[in-house]
Amino acid sequence: MSSKKRATPIKESLGYFAKSSLQEDGTVQPLSEQLTRYENWNFPSGELFVVASSAKDLGLPKVSDAPLVMTHKTIEKIKAKHELSLEEVKVLDELLELSPLAMDSLKRSDALVVVADSLDRDNNHILIALHIEKEKGKFVVDEVTSMYGKEEFNWMLENVATAQNTQFYVNERTGDWLARHKPSLALPVYNLLQEQCNKYDRQLQETYPGLKGYTKTKVPADWAKDVTRHIYQSHDDITYILDVGYVNNGCDGYGIDAYYMGKISSSAGTLSDTHYARYKNKVFEDGQKQILQTIDERYKASQNLAEPKRAPSLEEVREETAKSSATLTRNHKKECGREIF
């Protein structure tokens, strides 16, 4: 994908081909509201729907910084061919952000298939197909090309597992998803994904030894739109919560608000380590870094306190005594006006 042209800045590109998806303050209108307008014949047929101002905001692997969009034609296909309702499509952005698994496409290298934590009316796993870095005139976008219930889900997973140039992408939600769907998954695929989950957890805990677990969920809140809650569980039984959401700050349009708090598990409702921040960029990374650093520092401190002090050996006592004696002699000679050397 390196041969692709550089993506045009997001704000400029959205204003060009998705003007109707933008609100007065420059933020992207929630997808559910865009689709409600579409349902009421109040959305221009020539414009794209914006699922996210940047696909990376949804925490997906392999995607670019470009806007994630969807066409009218794709929505019609989802409804008519794949028999999913518009209400199901309205939560597509949440399904992507909270997806437990993603994989490379078997058909093309510039595509990603995302497994939603949701089933269709026939109890088939819902998949969402993305085309990565697709050129639209002078712009580059990531595009949702389909959403459907997969009938031969196990067959697809087995093919991805055995193909030459494809791989799975696990995250902090994969383990729970595997546990819930283990009976319906082929054993070789289950074992492979479980192994990848274990590796993912080990890497996270090796980097941050004090971290016991990490999850992410969507939460309703009045102070911001589309709030995502990141929950970090430490080994000393403190849960750190990082809430991130887009808000109108009343000054220069909109900003990204976040705050985190440490909740002592044994005393529900007791909050500590409160921190609040408002940034234009990297608010999640900055907040996450501060939380993980705090967890790591607390863990290292507890480890140091937990280590019993070892009694010095006879050789160490003699060496320390000799050093002290030499220091006293040197100081005494200096006081007498004579240097040692």
With tokens 């957890």, the residue in question is: 201
- Is position 67 within any domain? yes
Residues 17 and 154 both lie in one domain: yes
- Is position 336 within any domain? no
- Is position 340 within any domain? no
The verdict on pTM exceeding 0.75 is no
- Is position 33 within any domain? yes
Cα–Cα distance list, 203 to 88, 127, 215, 249, 318 (Å): 35, 27, 15, 37, 44
Residues 169 and 258 both lie in one domain: no
Residues 235 and 89 both lie in one domain: no
Residues 41 and 101 both lie in one domain: yes
Structure tokens, 117: 């934590």
- Is position 48 within any domain? yes
Residues 164 and 60 both lie in one domain: yes
Domain end (from 147, 174, 201): 174
Residues 296 and 238 both lie in one domain: yes
- Is position 338 within any domain? no
- Is position 180 within any domain? no
Question: Which pLDDT score, from 0 to 100, does residue 234 have?
Answer: 84
- Is position 92 within any domain? yes
Which pairs with CB-CB distance under 8 Å and at least 24 residues apart come from 75-78? 75/35, 75/38, 75/49, 77/146, 78/146, 78/147, 78/148
Coil, helix or strand at residue 173: coil
Residues 162 and 228 both lie in one domain: no
CA gap 169, 148 in Å, rounded: 20
Residues 136 and 284 both lie in one domain: no
Residues 245 and 144 both lie in one domain: no
Residues 48 and 116 both lie in one domain: yes
Structure tokens, 332: 């005494």
Residues 144 and 265 both lie in one domain: no
Number of structural domains found in the chain: 2
From first to last of the 341 residues of the chain, give the pLDDT tens digit.
Answer: 333 333 334 455 666 677 788 877 777 888 999 999 999 998 988 888 999 888 888 888 888 888 899 999 999 999 999 999 999 999 999 899 889 999 999 988 899 999 999 999 999 999 999 999 888 777 888 999 999 999 999 999 999 998 888 999 998 888 888 988 988 888 999 999 999 988 888 887 788 888 887 877 777 665 555 677 788 888 877 788 887 776 555 544 445 566 666 554 444 444 455 565 555 456 677 777 888 888 888 888 887 765 555 666 667 766 776 666 655 555 544 444 443 32
199: enclosing H helix or E strand:
helix 187-207
What domain range includes position 228? 212-306
Residues 24 and 167 both lie in one domain: yes
Domain end (from 174, 203, 221): 174
